[in-house]
């Protein structure tokens, strides 16, 4: 792990400035690269040099859901791994519209000072941003939150979220040390009569999970993700497994313009209502796996 900025090991705090267009979007490689570099710098400061961080959002004018959940995960991870509620200082956007968005979306409440107690108490609220570690404890609360905000639970989405949470608990952190942070981070929001649900973990990642079993060392990450999403394919090589990918894709209806997005390491995968798949390469490694569903209103 390396940082893109020069860090004085004797510094009391490291300034990390977010770009004006802080958006994680595959069709904008410049913005995408900026987000990934920022996340890498936060991780380096938190996990390697252990120096407190100042996350400066003052110049941010645009931020999308994918960038928001990744920022949420990396800031709270820094707070958790260092066991200091004030390890990360945050300056909110100067742009009033963007500052209002950060506050009203629940992002500010999720990333403010605090550690695991803050995240656990967050489940008692209706915040769109949550972090969990046990499907038995957090799945039902997640589905209730969706029903509360959406009015009902879209068909097959509950099974897909359950599958994602189980994959994280059983596989994502399988080779991490016992004291590692083994959480996921999630975000729910509604826009233009569409429900969006995102879930991210900082675990092994889909490509490396398959490489452990299948030795696909030279296969591009995006191709491994596409292969992993085929029916009957499993990273464990256990007969009778491999339906999980179908559960993950099933909420994407052939009626609506629904989509499923998956990002892991240097690979990206898009699955659309007509069954079309687009694979692409990420310019900088995303450590972990991000899943994002977009579900249309006619599922109700």
DSSP letters spanning 219-233: S-HHHHHHHHTSTT-
- The token duo for 57 is 């959002």
How confident is the model at residue 236, as a pLDDT? 52
How confident is the model at residue 71, as a pLDDT? 99
- pLDDT (mean) for 153-166: 95
pLDDT above 90: residue 180: no
pLDDT tier for residue 260 given thresholds of 50, 70 and 90 = very high
Residue 187 and residue 68 in contact, taking contact as beta carbons nearer than 8 Å: yes
Integer Cα distance of 262 and 279 in angstroms? 10
**Quick check: do 1-127 and 133-300 share a fold?**
no
- % of the chain beyond a pLDDT of 90: 75
How confident is the model at residue 1, as a pLDDT? 58
pLDDT tier for residue 181 given thresholds of 50, 70 and 90 = confident
How confident is the model at residue 213, as a pLDDT? 73
- pLDDT (mean) for 149-153: 91
How confident is the model at residue 299, as a pLDDT? 44
Q: Is 290 exposed, middle or buried (0-12, 13-18, 19+ CB in 10 A)?
A: buried
Q: Tens digit of pLDDT for each residue in 197-255?
A: 999 999 999 999 888 776 666 899 999 999 999 865 555 555 444 556 889 999 998 77
Q: Which residues contact 161 (CB under 8 A, 6 or more apart)?
A: 139, 142, 143, 197, 199
How confident is the model at residue 245, as a pLDDT? 85
Domains of the chain, by residue range, sit at 1-127, 133-300
Average pLDDT over all residues of the chain: 90
CATH 3.30.70 fits 1-127, yes or no: no
Residue 44 and residue 285 in contact, taking contact as beta carbons nearer than 8 Å: no
Pick the CATH number of 133-300 from 3.40.47.10, 3.30.565.10, 3.40.30.10, 3.40.50.300: 3.30.565.10
Q: Tens digit of pLDDT for each residue in 73-126?
A: 999 999 999 999 999 999 999 999 999 999 999 999 999 999 999 999 999 998
Q: 270: which strand partners?
A: 261, 278
Residue 282 and residue 32 in contact, taking contact as beta carbons nearer than 8 Å: yes
* Listed range (36-40, 149-153, 194-198) with the worst mean pLDDT: 149-153
């Amino acid at each position: 792990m390396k940082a893109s900025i020069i860090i004085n090991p004797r510094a009391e705090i490291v300034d990390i400035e977010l770009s004006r267009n802080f958006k994680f979007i595959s069709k904008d490689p410049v913005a995408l690269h900026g987000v990934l570099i920022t996340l890498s710098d936060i991780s380096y400061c938190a996990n390697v040099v252990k120096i407190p961080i100042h996350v400066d959002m003052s110049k941010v004018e645009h931020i999308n859901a994918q960038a928001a959940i990744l920022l949420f995960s990396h800031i709270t991870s820094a707070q958790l791994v260092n066991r200091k509620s004030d390890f990360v200082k945050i300056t909110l956007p100067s742009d009033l519209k963007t500052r209002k968005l950060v506050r009203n979306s629940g992002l500010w409440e999720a990333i403010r000072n605090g550690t695991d107690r803050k995240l656990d108490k967050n489940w008692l609220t209706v915040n769109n941003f949550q972090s969990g570690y046990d499907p038995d404890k957090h799945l039902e609360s997640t589905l209730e939150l969706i029903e509360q905000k959406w009015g009902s639970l879209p068909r097959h989405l509950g099974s897909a979220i359950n599958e994602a949470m189980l994959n994280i608990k059983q596989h994502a952190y399988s080779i991490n040390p016992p004291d590692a942070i083994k959480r996921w981070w999630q975000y729910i929001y509604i826009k233009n009569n569409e429900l969006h649900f995102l879930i991210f973990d900082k675990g092994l990642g889909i490509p490396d999970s398959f490489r452990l079993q299948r030795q696909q060392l030279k296969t591009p990450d995006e191709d491994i993700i596409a292969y992993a999403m085929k029916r009957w394919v499993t990273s464990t090589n256990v007969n009778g497994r491999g339906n999980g990918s179908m559960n993950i894709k099933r909420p994407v209806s052939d009626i609506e313009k629904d989509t499923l997005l998956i990002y892991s390491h240097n690979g990206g995968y898009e699955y659309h209502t007509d069954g079309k798949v687009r694979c692409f390469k990420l310019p900088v490694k995303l450590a972990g796996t991000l899943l994002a569903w977009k579900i249309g209103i006619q599922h109700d």
